[in-house]
Amino acid sequence: MTSRPVAALRQAQGPDTTWAVHAAGVGKVFPTKTGEVVALTEVELEVAAGEFVSLIGPSGCGKSTLLRLIADLDQATTGTLEIFGKPAKRARIDQDYGIAFQQSGLLPWRTVAANIGLPLELHGTGKAERATRVAELAELVGLSDFVDRYPDQLSGGMQQRVAIARALAARPKLLLMDEPFGALDEMTRERLQSELTRIAGETSAAVVFVTHSIPEAVFLSDRVVVMSPRPGRITDVIETGLGDRRDEALRESPAFFDRVTAVREALHGSPVARASES
């Protein structure tokens, strides 16, 4: 597996660094019929190029809202948010990131292959190269036998796998993922977790990943960002310190269970042991 020395990478960041994601004082307020709802408050977050960061917290804490702000699917009420040094809107227009959210968002009139290949079409990738890449991704997500099907002929879990493949198609510098494995069976979920870490390592893509699963967050991430109940804010950041190899043996290691415990305690407001102190 390709090495991702993220700790060294973050230490090398200087005042002129262009972060993959840089949020400063970000807040989001939603107006409702019964008054304003403060979803996020004073969020400070930096994600380095090539870093895998998971957001975890109780339901309603604003994890998905923060991801939507990064993706420019909504706009912050306060603070500033930059993607590779650009405003989120500019980064969206420049297609600097791929997205896989809870809902697959597939185009119903396009086949599985055509949905996966859509970002490549938008990037002007040639037909032969596009077909090769689509075949690779279809195999990766276990849908090689379904490339000619349409979304309404697939189960919900299969539709989500197509969406994951589509997000990876153009090898973006940043992946934004909102519980993309939630609808998958456990075996497929674990296989795709392993494949995602490999892909992120090989492409040096940064990943911001929303999940409710503590083991998933620990297995995937260089850092796990813990958020509070609404109004959502970052209460803890835990470096996993698990090294570059993310394989099945890691899931049974004492270090893995230690980090899972650390994240669980952080979610419950208890002191945690930092990876740097392990």
Question: Which among 134, 152, 171 is the end of a domain?
Answer: 171
Query: 148, exposed or middle or buried, with CB in 10 Å at 0-12, 13-18, 19+?
Result: exposed
Q: Containing domain of residue 111, as a range?
A: 106-171
86 and 205 co-located in one domain = yes
The answer to the question of residue 68 being in a domain is yes
The answer to the question of residue 235 being in a domain is yes
The answer to the question of residue 161 being in a domain is yes
207 and 271 co-located in one domain = yes
56 and 187 co-located in one domain = yes
Backbone angles phi, psi at 188, to 5 degrees: -65, -40
Give CA torsion, residues 57, 59, 64, 65, to 10 deg: -100
Question: Which among 171, 189, 206 is the end of a domain?
Answer: 171
148 and 191 co-located in one domain = no
The number of domains in the chain is: 2
The answer to the question of residue 110 being in a domain is yes
Other C-beta atoms lying within 10 Å of the C-beta of residue 107: 13
What pLDDT does 255 receive? 95
DSSP result, 211-237: -S-HHHHHHH-SEEEEEPSSSB-EEEE
124 and 187 co-located in one domain = no
147 and 207 co-located in one domain = no
Residue with tokens 């415990």: 261
Tokens of 177: 């993922």
166 and 176 co-located in one domain = no
153 and 82 co-located in one domain = no
The Cα 257–Cα 201 span in angstroms is 23
Question: How far, in whole angstroms, is CA 74 from its chain's centroid?
Answer: 17
32 and 143 co-located in one domain = no
The answer to the question of residue 1 being in a domain is no
Any bridge partners for residue 226, and if so which? 56, 236
Question: Which among 171, 197, 220 is the end of a domain?
Answer: 171
What pLDDT does 277 receive? 40
What's the count of helices (H) and strands (E) in the chain, helices before strands? 10, 10
Q: What is the pLDDT along the chain (278 residues), one digit of tens a residue?
A: 333 444 444 554 555 567 999 999 999 999 888 888 899 999 999 999 999 999 999 988 999 999 999 999 999 999 999 999 999 999 988 888 888 877 788 999 999 999 999 989 988 899 999 999 999 999 888 899 999 999 999 987 888 889 988 998 887 889 999 998 887 788 878 888 887 887 777 778 899 999 999 999 999 999 999 999 989 999 999 999 998 888 889 999 999 999 999 999 999 874 443 443 43
Backbone angles phi, psi at 163, to 5 degrees: -65, -40
What pLDDT does 17 receive? 61
Sheet holding 35-47, edge to edge: 35-47, 21-32, 78-83, 86-87
Mutual angle of helices 156-168 and 186-203, in 10-degree steps: 10
CATH number at residue 224: 3.40.50.300
The answer to the question of residue 101 being in a domain is no
152 and 181 co-located in one domain = no
pTM of the model: 0.84
The answer to the question of residue 141 being in a domain is yes
181 and 128 co-located in one domain = no
Backbone angles phi, psi at 47, to 5 degrees: -120, 120
200 and 268 co-located in one domain = yes
Contacts of residues 141-144 at CB distance under 8 Å and 24 or more positions apart, as own/partner, are 141/165, 141/192, 142/188, 143/112
What pLDDT does 243 receive? 84
Contact between 36 and 189 under an 8 Å Cβ cutoff? The reply is no
What pLDDT does 199 receive? 76
The answer to the question of residue 20 being in a domain is yes
